[in-house]
Each structure stands twice: as structure tokens, then as C-alpha cells.
Amino acid sequence: MTAAIRPEAHGASLWHAVSRNRRDRPALHDEINVDLAIVGGGFAGLSTALHAAGKGLSVTVLEAEIIAWGATGRNAGFVVPNFAKMDPDSILAHLGPERGERLIDFAAASADLVFSLIKGHGIDCDAVQNGWIQPAHSPAAFEKVKSRASQWAQRGRPTVVLDRQEIEVLTGIRGYAGGWMDRSGGVLNPVAYAHGLADAAEKAGAKIFERTPVTSVDRVADGWKLKTPSGSVRAGKVLIATNAYGGSLNPMLQRTYIPLKVFQIATEPLPREIRTRLLPGGQGAGDTRRNLFTFRFDADNRLISGGMHILSAGADTRVPQTIWRRLTRHLDLPDLPPLAYGWSGMAAVEPDFLPHLLDLGPGLIAGRACNGRGIAMTTAMGKALADWAAGTEARDLPLPFAPPAPIPFHALLRHAPNALLGWSMLRDRLDETA
């Protein structure tokens, strides 16, 4: 059975609806001078603001809409300290030993950073650091994740390989070939986490403005001038942290990543008894399918899952129902409560699925660490970018730093993930029956 999504909830994320620490912030109606101006109030902008203000810099965040308006307020809340496609060995081959090792260390520590910020600043965001599980949908995928777990374990990460039965006990799902878990991962409420970061940044001295779109960023003698509809900011350094929501601010940037529309749903709360079977340890799970299957519970026992569309026409109403039906099938839950929230968000995916800093001029950087794994990665990127704001050369940070490189045939390639989804689903099925 499926029910209509609550009309007032359609399009709004569960997290915006339930977060207790949300509050409004003013728009900028002034002309101000700061050391660091940040465009975008998502995890990337807020973590940078918190860490830079903590170093004694004057910092402002300018957000076009409200805090966590972008992917930050629309994601699934999995805290994942690794990359979607690349593992340590392939990162070393891709970036070379020196840069590779730095990026691996950066990623490895990223989930611990998130949970230590939450603890240190007393952020009330239903955070659970009990592990992130990746079940393998086929024997071949199990071999891959065994190698993945061992490569991260060699870097001192608390990983564990799980056989078929252990995966069944941890997730409540039969049929996976096995899997692995990084115990430093976990789940949280992303909007509450973002507001906690914003509160902490303000306590450290940062100024945050909402409903303040930056309309231009221009070079001036002593740095940069950012214009907004009713104010302006002069800054020595500027971070563009607009991820896949940058619009017309820098059209060239829009051609340097693949924008991916991802849908999420939350059901009405489930009875507590169900937790003795499904994810009794409170972890989050995202499997190895190309058409990724993810699931977790929130603090009120709603089930949360996600998915993508092949055809965009009608997708906003059709895809949430498809995801709901997939949940009932995979979790073997014929009495799954109806859908309560359905929403979507845009993720920026890099050609190599790794975080990147883009050199836009002296003292002007765009930072993107999304790739669908941005909670841990953008938080960690913010800490690194605060070092840059305080004087470290960008090339000495742990993330790749280079001028932006537009993707050839971008207008065509940006549709590839959706166009290829049907083929990916077929390959997933063939893997499972192999």
C-alpha cells in the first residue's frame, strides 16, 4: 500500500521539518569587510566558517536561501569516511604517492572529525557513530569490498569484513553475499548538524546571512568584492561553496561536474519491535549495486531510502513511490507504513569521484567534496580550507588543487547517469544471478 505524500511535505525534506535547532538568520543590509567571505551555507561553507573563525579570522557566510537549503538539507544523513569509487590503492595510482597518501589520510579521519565536532559543540542532531555498512549484492562485489576493507584497515581504519550471515544479522536482509563496515561511520540528522555548525561558527565570531544571494564576485585592489541585492562584502579571500546549486554565479564552474538529481523518501514511523530485525545496531547501510540501495532509520523510527530517475517527466511523484515499493521488497515488509516525505536534491559528481579545490584566482577558491559522500568529506574540507584562509598555500592542502577543467561534451554527459540507469539495473540483476 502506498499513500499520498503529505501535501505540505512534498518537496521539503524530512530534516527541515523535524529539526529542533533550526532558526532564521538575517539578510545582509550593510557593507562589511572580512578576512574570508564564504558563498553558500551548506556543510562546506559552515565547516570552513567554524574552523576559520576558530583561528581568529573575521568570517562571513552568505547563503542565497536558508542554511542547509542545498544538498546539505536534502541528503540521507550517512556519515561515510571513504570514496564511492576509489579505494586507497587506486587513489595512489591516480594521484601519486605523496598527494594520494594525503587524501587518503584526509578521508580516513573525516567521520571521526564530524562526530568529534558534534560532541565538542554539543550539537543535538541524533548522531549515532555505530558504523556504516556496505552489503555486497553479488559474490564478485563481495571480493571487491573485502579488498576495500583491507586497504582501509592497513590505514588504521576500524573496518570489519562481514560474511553472509553477519550481514543478515546486522541489516535484517537476506541474500547479500557478505559486506563490510567502517565502524567510524554512522548516521545523523543533516539539517540539525548544519544548524549546530552554524551556531558554533557564530559563537566563534562568524557572521551568517540568509536570503543573501551573491550576484557577483569581482577583483579589487586588496582582495575581492561580493555584491548582494542589499549589501556588499570586501574580503581578502573568498570560498565558493555552492556545490551543485551555484546557478549563474560562475557559469564555467557548472561545466566542471556532473549534476545528479537524487530522490529521498521517509515513511511514517515503524513500530519499535521491527528494530529487533532491521538494523538493530542503528547503523546506516548502502549496498554495492550500481542502482544503489540505501536504508536507515531516523530517531523517530521512520525508514529512509533513496533512488534516481531514468525519465525526468513525472519523476517527482513517480520516483518516491518506486523507492517505497523497493523498500517493501528488499526489506520483506509487506506492512511498510506509508510514505510521509518525498524530496530530491542535487549532488555534484566529479569526473574522478574525488574532492577538488578549484583555483579561480588569487585568494579565490571553489571547494567541492560532494560525490554523494559529502557529510564527512565537506566537513573535513572545511577544516583544510580554514588553514588556507589563515595562510597555508592551497597546493599544500590534502585535496587536489587545480584550475577548473570544463568536462568535454558536458551538455550531453550531464544526462549520462540517468540515461544509463536502466542498463545499470540490468547489470545489477545479472550480477545477482551469476
Ligand X SMILES: Cc1cc2nc3c(=O)[nH]c(=O)nc-3n(C[C@H](O)[C@H](O)[C@H](O)COP(=O)(O)OP(=O)(O)OC[C@H]3O[C@@H](n4cnc5c(N)ncnc54)[C@H](O)[C@@H]3O)c2cc1C
**Site residues (vs ligand X, CB under 6 A):** 39-45, 62-65, 69-72, 74-78, 80, 213-214, 241-247, 249, 262, 264, 306, 345-347, 370, 372-376, 378
* Complex with ligand X: residue 176 or 193, whichever CB lies closer: 193
Closest C-alpha among 61, 62, 68, 80 to residue 19: 68
* Complex with ligand X: residue 91 or 304, whichever CB lies closer: 304
- Rounded Cα distance between 259 and 73, Å, is 17
CB of 143 to ligand X, least distance (A): 25
- Rounded Cα distance between 235 and 426, Å, is 51
CB of 84 to ligand X, least distance (A): 10
CB of 335 to ligand X, least distance (A): 26
CB of 193 to ligand X, least distance (A): 10
Side-chain-side CA neighbours of 228 within 13 Å: the count stands at 27
CB of 162 to ligand X, least distance (A): 20
* Complex with ligand X: residue 67 or 167, whichever CB lies closer: 67
How many CB atoms are located within 10 Å of the residue 161 CB?
17
- Rounded Cα distance between 312 and 70, Å, is 20
* Complex with ligand X: residue 235 or 249, whichever CB lies closer: 249
CB of 158 to ligand X, least distance (A): 18
Q: What are phi and psi of 218, to 5 degrees?
A: -120, 145
241-261 burial, b if ≥16 CB within 10 A, otherwise e? bbbbbbeebbeebbbbbbbbb
- Rounded Cα distance between 392 and 415, Å, is 38
- Rounded Cα distance between 203 and 46, Å, is 12
* Complex with ligand X: residue 86 or 249, whichever CB lies closer: 249
Q: Which residue is nearest to ligand X (CB)?
A: 374
* Complex with ligand X: residue 61 or 177, whichever CB lies closer: 61
- Rounded Cα distance between 317 and 344, Å, is 11
